[in-house]
Amino acid sequence: MTRYTMDALLRGLGVALILGAWSAAPAHALTLKTETVHRPSSTRVFPGDGPGAKAANSFCLMCHSAGMVMTQPDLSKSTWLAEVNKMKHVMKAPIPEDQVPVIAEYLYSIKGRK
């Protein structure tokens, strides 16, 4: 037997031992646990499926969560309009002009000061 073959055999034996040890490892060592996490759903997306909710979900979630909006106090319609305009013009949110009043109206409907 050449020295080269001997080497190969020993290496093969080593691999077999490692594989054997790995497959013999107790199964519970690899068991992952699942936790149930309750998150406030209102801070993930804007509630509802009307045009305002759709527009807010399309144009207000690329920089911050809905929570940034939902945790604000109830505001008047003109304040919401100013806020959406601020996001568009100051923060450079890519909101189509015709969606600005739609979003403001929607925000007023869910967080409006009557």
Per CB under 6 A, residues contacting ligand HEC are 56, 59-60, 62-64, 68-69, 72, 83-84, 86-87, 91-93, 95, 103, 107
**Which tokens hold the place of 11?**
């290496």
The distance of closest approach from Cβ of residue 91 to ligand HEC in the complex, given in angstroms and rounded to an integer, is: 4
Q: How far apart are CA 47 and CA 106, in angstroms?
A: 10
Q: Which of 101, 44, 107, 106 is nearest to 74 (CA)?
A: 107
Q: Shortest approach of ligand HEC to residue 111 CB, angstroms? A: 9
55 and 106 Cβ atoms separated by less than 8 Å: yes
Q: Which residue number, 42 or 83, has a Cβ lying nearer to ligand HEC?
A: 83
Cα 63 to Cα 86: distance, rounded to the nearest angstrom: 14
**CB atoms closer than 10 angstroms to residue 70:** 16
Of the pair 11, 64, the CB lying nearest ligand HEC is at: 64
Least distance to ligand HEC, CB of residue 38, Å: 24
Q: Closest distance between ligand HEC and the C-beta of residue 17, in Å?
A: 57
Rounded CA-CA distance 5/101 in Å is 80
Nearer to ligand HEC, 12 or 96 (CB): 96
